[in-house]
Amino acid sequence: MLIKRLLEFAGIEPQRFLVKWVSSSEGQKFADTISELAAAIKALGPNRKYRDAL
C-alpha cells in the first residue's frame, strides 16, 4: 500500500502496480487477476517514465 502510494506520488500510474493475496489453490482468481492487470497495463501503453536517462 505504501509503495503504491509512493509510486503514485512520484508520478507513476498506480494501475501499474498490484499487490494481491492469492492462495495456491485459487487458480482461477490468479488467472483473472493477471488478465485484469495485463489489460490495464496494455491500455496505458509502455512505461518510459524513469527508464531513460534524463
Positions in the binding site for another protein (CB under 8 A): 1-3, 5-13, 19-21, 49-54
Asked if 41 and 28 touch (Cβ cutoff 8 Å), the reply is no
Q: Provide the minimum distance between the beta carbon of 39 and another protein in the complex, in angstroms, as a whole number.
A: 19
Task: At 34, list the grid cell.
Answer: 493477471
Rounded to a whole number of angstroms, the minimum distance from the CB of residue 12 to another protein is 7
Nearer to another protein, 3 or 43 (CB): 3
- Give 19 or 42: the residue with its C-beta nearer to another protein: 19
Q: Is 2 helix (H, G, I), strand (E, B) or coil?
A: helix
Residue 42's SS3 state is helix
